[in-house]
Amino acid sequence: MTFAQTVRIDLAYKGTHFRGFAENPDVRTVGGELRSALEQILGGTVELTVAGRTDAGVHAAGQVVSFRSDSSRLDCERLVGALNSICSTD
């Protein structure tokens, strides 16, 4: 039996060095960096759903992002720690 859950992330970031949230293969975006980090941590493809988005250079506090996980053993506290260690501080 497959267990599926939706995981919500409340995200804050400084957007100075990003070209917005929406993924674009030619530029660095918040969504692209987040998806890449989640795929590295979870070991599979991740599809993000975002409530709103930001433009280039815009900061965010409390942006809501979610994704589906088939893992019944997903430890959200460890996930946050892993994301914070992988994602850049800029």
User: What tens digit of pLDDT does each residue of 26-52 get?
Assistant: 999 999 999 999 999 999 899 999 998
pLDDT at 8: 95
pLDDT at 1: 57
Domain ranges of the chain: 5-86
In sequence order, the β-bridge partners of residue 57 are none
User: What tens digit of pLDDT does each residue of 53-82 get?
Assistant: 889 999 999 999 999 988 777 888 999 999
Residues known to be catalytic: 55
In this structure, which CATH number among 3.30.70.100, 2.40.40.20, 3.30.70.1280, 3.30.70.580 belongs to the domain 5-86? Answer: 3.30.70.580
This prediction's pTM: 0.90
Average pLDDT over residues 2-19: 90
Q: What is the 3-state secondary structure (H, E, C) of the chain?
A: CCCCEEEEEEEEECCCCCCCCCCCCCCCCHHHHHHHHHHHHHCCCCCCEECCCCCCCCCEEEEEEEEEECCCCCCHHHHHHHHHHHCCCC
